[in-house]
Every structure is written in structure tokens, then in C-alpha cells.
Amino acid sequence: MTSRLDIFLPSEFIARGPSYTCGMIAKGLVSREIDDRPLNVNIVTPRASSFTIPSVGVTEALPIWARRLPYRVSRPLALATIDTAFLRIVREVTADNRGAYIWPNASVSTINELKSRGITVFREMINGPRWRAKQLLDDAYKRLAARPTHGLDDTSAEVERDALHAADYVFSPNGMVTKSLQETGLPPTKILEASYGWDPQRFAGATRLLPPIDGVRIAFVGTIGVRKGAHLILDYWARSKVRGELVLAGAMEAAIKEQCGSLLARPDVTVLDYVSDAGALYRSADIFAFPTIEEGGPQVTYEACGCGLPVITSPMGAGRVVNDGREGYVLDPYDAAGWVAAIQELATDVSKRSLMAEAALASADDYRWEAVSARRKTQIVDRLEPHAESSDLSQALAGLISSHETTVAERPIGAA
């Protein structure tokens, strides 16, 4: 009996962002080290650029001449033709059990045609539902007195809502996304609890990006924008009056430059536009802070934990790995007093910082990409082969997810 999964990836297949995440999951889907059942996997993408996964097929949908163009030029053509190309490819393939794994966004008509052919459709959530994201980000920009530039609108939110209902199953990478999916009207049986992960090899080494300082160094990694709460950590760092340095690494949104100029100009704030070795940055830091407002699977949180950093984050940023009071603190992103207290406590209480760092490192071990993708494989193959008994790995997955419930701290920092 053969099982095949075609992955719909409407972006350039590169070793960054959602494409990297997709690739690392695909790598585990074909592996038989943990789940021995065979699964053939093929990724349909506009074009692939120096990112290959052994034993995973890749079909480039753009014509050869368009693949040679800069992707910013060929992207409109890619988005206009990817659905048609994907359907053409799946029509040409035969297998006993077939699945389609949709990375946002395939049209509802594409999903319906796949289902009409007996293909089980899985949908990935790289962020929360668009309607909920729009609510959160409209509020965030309003609080900052900035013009929203998130690009979300009611029309696209409704289109996505229809696609989510049309899919057979939807992967949810964190508990907050699950809650929003339920509020979207999806039944619990359709939602597959999942996570993202990290690659220890990618973060191996002993080098440090930055020299030691007198005080603590807090790292923020990701787009330095409103969505990730960059303006909030800048504010909380200034209010904390802690001796040390706040380092922000990533591309900066215009709204942050415009609204946070004085905070960015502080001598204890450093901005790094691009860091090729994030591990070297994490090894230079004492704490990872991430007050993200809207998130799918916070990959940087898993990576920071894997590098042994205690984490101060929001419920969106906790993913499945950070539990309040154990690996760090999970706080409402707008709880200024709570954030300031958490920064102050971890800056001064070296023992607590060390205990949380150890807990973060231990928890991250469950979220290595091999383990994460093996759990995905089990969830997928169990549903492609409906007569197969649920595997031990599937039961272990349920236990791991249920053991992590993201809660917002409702007690004073430092309370017993």
C-alpha cells in the first residue's frame, strides 16, 4: 500500500521563513527512523533556490525562463499559476492513499477539486486566522498611533475562513491559534495540535556574536515590527532601568522607526539588521524577550530555548515550549508592570535565571525537528490510512500537547 503527500507551497523554496519550516517538516515526513511507515512526499513550489531535502521531490511550477528572474519580479506570475500547476501535477499521480498539504493559500475551488478526487486535504496555519490577526493588529497600531500596514482585510479573512472549513484537517502550531480556530467554527476533530521546532545542528558552536558586558543582555529576534511587539519590548526595557543591553535583530518596520526613535537611540539599545548566525547571538545573551502580538508557531522561541535562554514572552510567543514560571514567564503583551518586573527579576536573580535556562534547554529537546516532523507524519499517515491502528507515537503526541497549556501569569513576579 502506497501513501503520497503533495505539498502546496506558494512561495520560493528557500532555507528561510515558512519555506524553511515546510522543508524541515517534509524532511521528517519521509524519514522512517521514528515512524516506519513509508510516505512519498513532493513539494510543488514556484521555484527552488539552493535548498534541497534528501528523498523529498520538488516540482518547480514556474516556466524555466521565469525561474531565472528575481523572485520579486516572477512572484505575481507564480501566485497566479500555482493552483493550476498543483492540480495538474496531482492529476498525473496515482497512489493508494493520497493527501494534499496546503501551505497558505490555495483557493477554495482548488481544495474542493482535491477532495472530489478522494484526496485528504491538510491545511497549515503559519499565523492565526486572518480575521483574528486583523483584530489584534488593528488594535496594536491604534495603541501606537500608527497607520496599519499589516495588509489584512475582511475580504481575505472571509476567503480564508471558507478555505479552513473546506479542508479536512488544519494544523494548529500553538494553543492560541487553536482557540481562534475554534472561534472560527472549526470542530475539534478537524484541528490537529502541532508545533514548530529547531535544529540543534544549525545552532551548534561556541562563538559569540557580541562581547561580554557589565549587566545583562536581552535578545529580541524577528521582524522589528508592531506584529512582533518590538515597540513594547523597547518601552519595557527603558522602564526597567536594568543595567545592560537590549539587542534587536531583524528587518525594521517603518512604524517602529517613526514611533520609537528616542527608544532606539538609547545607548543601551543595539539594532542588528541581519544576523547570519543566530546561535552566536543567543550565546551572547542572557534572556530572550518576545512580546509578540500575533503569531503562528514562534520558531524563534524554540530556538532560544534550544540555546538555553530563559524566555519572557506572550501567550502567542510561548508556543508549546514555554510554561509560565518554568522556562520563563508568559505575560499579556500589554502588561507593562508584569514585563518590567520580569525583566528586573531575571536580571538580578541569577539563580532563577539559571533554573529557567536549564528548564528551557530540557523542554526544547522535545521540539527538535526530527521529533516534531515525526509527530506530523504520524498525524498525517494515521488519517491517510484510516484502517490502521493509532500508533504509540500518536498517543505520545496527545500526551505531550495536553501537558502544555499556555496561561498568562496572574500573580506577582517572584511570588512563590
* Residue 386 confidence class, pLDDT cut points 50, 70, 90: confident
Does the structure show a pLDDT above 90 at 405? no
Is the CB of residue 226 less than 8 Å from the CB of residue 205?
Answer: no
**Per-residue pLDDT tens for 242-264?**
999 999 999 999 999 999 999 99
- CA angle at residue 355 from 237 to 367, to 5 degrees? 90
Contacts of 361 (CB under 8 A, 6+ apart): 305, 306, 307, 308
Handedness of CA 95, 106, 131, 225 (dihedral sign): positive
Mean pLDDT, range 20-26, rounded to an integer: 96
Is the CB of residue 249 less than 8 Å from the CB of residue 275?
Answer: yes
Strands 57-60 and 216-221: unpaired
Q: What is the pLDDT of residue 394?
A: 53
Q: What is the pLDDT of residue 273?
A: 87
- CB burial of 39-57 (b: ≥16 within 10 Å; e: otherwise) equals bbbbbbbbbbeebebeebb
Q: What is the pLDDT of residue 416?
A: 35
Is the CB of residue 96 less than 8 Å from the CB of residue 2?
Answer: yes
Does the structure show a pLDDT above 50 at 234? yes
Task: Give the percent of the chain with pLDDT over 70.
Answer: 93
Does the structure show a pLDDT above 50 at 410? no
What's the rounded Cα separation, in Å, for the pair 158 and 148? Answer: 19
Is the CB of residue 144 less than 8 Å from the CB of residue 231?
Answer: yes
Q: What is the mean pLDDT of the chain?
A: 93
Task: Give the percent of the chain with pLDDT over 90.
Answer: 88
- CB burial of 285-296 (b: ≥16 within 10 Å; e: otherwise) equals bbbbbbbbbbbb
Is the CB of residue 40 less than 8 Å from the CB of residue 4?
Answer: yes
Q: What is the DSSP letter of 365?
A: G
Report cis status (omega within 30 of 0) of the bond before 97: no
Question: Comparing C-alpha atoms, which of 287, 228, 214, 307 is closest to residue 260?
Answer: 228
**Which residue reads 512563590 in cell numbers?**
416
Phi, psi of 64 (to 5 degrees): -55, -40
Helix and strand numbers (H, E) in the chain are: 17, 13
* Residue 2 confidence class, pLDDT cut points 50, 70, 90: confident
Query: pTM for this one?
Result: 0.91
Mean pLDDT, range 331-349, rounded to an integer: 98
* Residue 274 confidence class, pLDDT cut points 50, 70, 90: confident
Contacts of 207 (CB under 8 A, 6+ apart): 277, 280, 283
Q: What is the pLDDT of residue 1?
A: 74
Q: What is the pLDDT of residue 144?
A: 96
* Residue 395 confidence class, pLDDT cut points 50, 70, 90: low
User: Which domains does the chain possess?
Assistant: 3-197 (3.40.50.2000), 200-367 (3.40.50.2000)
Question: Comparing C-alpha atoms, which of 284, 303, 149 is closest to residue 222?
Answer: 303
